[in-house]
Amino acid sequence: MSDAGTTLDITGWTCPAPLRDRPRVVMGHGGGGALSAELVQHLFAPAFGGEVLAGLGDSAAVTLGGVRLAFSTDTYVVRPLFFPGGGIGDLAVNGTVNDLAMSGARAAYLSCGFILEEGVEMSVVARVAETMGAAARAAGVEIATGDTKVVESGHGDGVYVNTAGIGIIPDGVDLRPQRVVPGDVVIVSGEIGLHGVAIMSVREGLEFGVDVESDCAALGGLVQSMLAVTPDLHVLRDPTRGGLAASLNEIAAASGTGVVLDERAVPVPEAVANACAILGLDPMYVANEGKLVAFVPREHADAVLDAMRAHPLGRGAAVIGEAVEDHPGMVVARTALGGTRVVDLPLGEQLPRIC
């Protein structure tokens, strides 16, 4: 059957042509990585026009009647609807509250748009609504307006929720990646990867036993305690889809500075590390829902870190790196062994590896 003496002719070994453009939407366009960014920058932004949108932040800073407002919207399509540590209702409130908080604003009012699937049990809708109410009360925000639509059975995952929110940005607060300068200290508010691993642990077909709950939480109070130390924080991000890596890459690209991380300093809980090792994922790319990453002027870093650690949602805060002049727009990690590696923007969805 085979010729044991065969030698390989390696001339002309080739590979196929790439997929450069996609004629249809793929899941990666919603993954918070490079594909998502391209969709917004090359399709939505040119179509909409407008100066405010060009900022491309998680929330927009607008001035109305002399008042600076943060304005943000987000849509929640999580499956399953309820997971260890929370559910779609908590996410829908806290996610938008956090997007506003990253502008320094305390969320004041939210809108809520439901897309319900025909046939979903009313008790499920009630549970989502109750958790939204409880989360809103805990965050000190009011759900002031809303809308409901129903789609035919098979055209939705039971419940989709959109929330939009507004809040006032305090005077003297200007949180933008463009303010980052070399020397800024990078601080993360606690352990990363909890939300993504909690969701994966109960996802159909992947159920695995892990002692991890989502970190879903409203960060407005933590941000206020940081701003009380100094209003001169440079930028804040909540590293949701795409994880810490996506947030740091966005900041590096928008600020034109490089970022150097000490990989050992990034707080990764053991359960998250183990789950990621099994699935072939990198915790740096796994979603969080109750964490923030801050770029803080070096002279304020210690005081801000102390203030964070004094807050229940910042107890695990840690300095993980700094902004640098080298390799502008790029994030580099010093590995535990002493090597270095680039921490890239994720392309689309993280895909579990074959082996």
Partner 1 sequence: MKYIEEFQDPALARRLLDDIHATVTRPWALMEVCGGQTHSIIRHGIDQLLPEQVELIHGPGCPVCVTPLEVIDKALEIASRPDVVFCSFGDMLRVPGTGRDLFQVRSEGGDVRVVYSPLDALRIAQENPGRQVVFFGIGFETTAPPNAMTVHQAKKLGIRNFSLLVSHVRVPPAIEAIMRSPSCRVQGFLAAGHVCSVMGVGEYPELAARHRVPIVVTGFEPLDILEGVRRAVRQLERGEHTVDNAYARAVRPEGNPAALAMLEDVFEVTDRAWRGIGVIPDSGWRLSARYRDFDAEHRFSVSGINTQEPAECRSGEVLQGLLKPHQCEAFGTLCTPRSPLGATMVSSEGACAAYYLYRRLELKTVPAAATTPPQEASTVV
What is the contact surface with partner 1 in residues (CB under 8 A)?
Answer: 1-4, 6-10, 12-20, 22-28, 34, 205-206, 264, 270, 273-274, 277, 280, 327, 330, 332, 335-342, 344, 347-348, 351-355
- Would you state the structure tokens that stand for residue 94, as one six-digit string? 């806290």
Strand ordering across the sheet containing 67-76: 60-64, 67-76, 159-168, 106-117, 142-151
Identity of the residue, 9 or 171, whose beta carbon is nearer to partner 1 in the bound complex? 9
Question: Each residue of 53-69: b (16+ CB within 10 Å) or e?
Answer: eeeebbbbbeeeeeebb
Q: How many CA atoms lie within 13 A of 107 on its CB side?
A: 34
Identity of the residue, 228 or 273, whose beta carbon is nearer to partner 1 in the bound complex? 273
Minimum CB separation of residue 255 from partner 1 in Å reads 18
Cα gap 60→250, rounded to integer Å: 16
Minimum CB separation of residue 342 from partner 1 in Å reads 5
Minimum CB separation of residue 43 from partner 1 in Å reads 15
Identity of the residue, 270 or 302, whose beta carbon is nearer to partner 1 in the bound complex? 270
Minimum CB separation of residue 35 from partner 1 in Å reads 8
What is the distance in angstroms between the CA of the first residue and the CA of the last residue of the chain? 30
Identity of the residue, 113 or 256, whose beta carbon is nearer to partner 1 in the bound complex? 256
What torsion do the CA atoms of 104, 177, 251, 139 make, to the nearest 10 degrees?
10
Cα gap 192→285, rounded to integer Å: 9
Identity of the residue, 93 or 286, whose beta carbon is nearer to partner 1 in the bound complex? 286
Minimum CB separation of residue 206 from partner 1 in Å reads 5
